[in-house]
Amino acid sequence: MPAIFFQEPLPFDELAALSQEFPHYDFKTECESLSDWSRIEVLYGSRLTEQQLSAAPRLRWIHSPTADTDALCLPEILNRGNIAITLSKGQNVPQMAEFVVGGILAFAKQFFHWPQAPHDPAEFWDWPLKETIWTLQKKTLLQVGLGEVGSGVVRLANNLGMKTWGMKQHRSFHPDCKKTFPQENLHSILPVVDVVVVALPKTGVEKVVFGIEEFNLMKRDSIFIGVGWGGAIDEDALAKVAKTGKFRGVLLDAYSRPPPPRDYSLWGVPNVILTPSVASHPISEEHIAFRLFRKNLRVFAVGKINEMKNLVL
């Protein structure tokens, strides 16, 4: 009997409803060893290693209950060539936008440096760090990627009085951006913006957008934040430039090969905050992901994969 592995837990009533409607599937909530993957036909989750993929010859569909697929071994999935991927878009967009704007505010107000302030009352009161605090009013934010997450970031940034610019592969109107630019204009824009946020989807084409040239072009004392798909960022180049002290702050929640290894170039770099793909947390309690998965499972079960919703691969 083919199996569906729920890497992300479902409430009992939802799991029971699926079991009743699809009795020809075995519903698993644990895969303790690689051998357990041999019967998995469907993965409900957003994490898959190369070893697990190799152990799952029957795997045909992955549904990520969030927009975060950074922990999927996408190149190997593409090489397999017969695995569909769907996403529950929109489920955790507010959380991701809040995460990004929270990072911007923390760097703007220098929150990460205040614990190092001297304990002498007079020195503490007059510590020069206070002269470096930003107001976000009229600071320019460049949002690279104007999908649901990028659009959510722009809306929150507008509420803080920031000047928001957007960038897509091709220039197009965006209702919440003051200006939008095509990606070919990136080099001319980077020297004049204060904050750069990269929130690009995993599209299946590995393409670095931010490398050593782009980081060198950024304004000194600027902020760089990356969420979503990590393959757009050359992390070694980012580390090299960050070590010069150029950035006010770097917040990275997306990695080209998660999780980052022990010898990762960005560990311990001053002004760099690394988080383990938590931008989408806490996971929404809404049932968007379950409803979409159930509808898609009905289509998948009869072999109509091309009719599945939110199909990205």
Residues 238-265: pLDDT tens digits? 999 999 999 999 999 999 888 899 999 9
The answer on pLDDT for 90 being more than 80 is no
Look up the CATH number of domain 93-274: 3.40.50.720
The answer on pLDDT for 229 being more than 70 is yes
pLDDT for residue 145: 92
pLDDT for residue 133: 97
Which of 209, 199, 233 is closest to 68 using CA atoms?
199
pLDDT for residue 87: 83
The structural domains of the chain, with segments of one domain joined by +, span: 3-91+283-307, 93-274
* Residue 134 main-chain phi, psi, to 5 deg: -95, 150
**Residue 177's pLDDT band (cuts 50, 70, 90):** very high
**Residue 156's pLDDT band (cuts 50, 70, 90):** very high
| Residues 278, 198: Cα–Cα separation, whole Å | 15
pLDDT for residue 205: 46
Q: What percent of the chain has pLDDT over 90?
A: 70
Numbers of helices and strands, H then E, in the chain: 10, 14
pLDDT for residue 204: 44
Residue 114: Cβ within 10 Å count: 12
The CATH architecture annotation of domain 3-91+283-307 reads 3-Layer(aba) Sandwich (3.40)
pLDDT for residue 74: 83
The answer on pLDDT for 276 being more than 60 is yes
**Residue 68's pLDDT band (cuts 50, 70, 90):** low
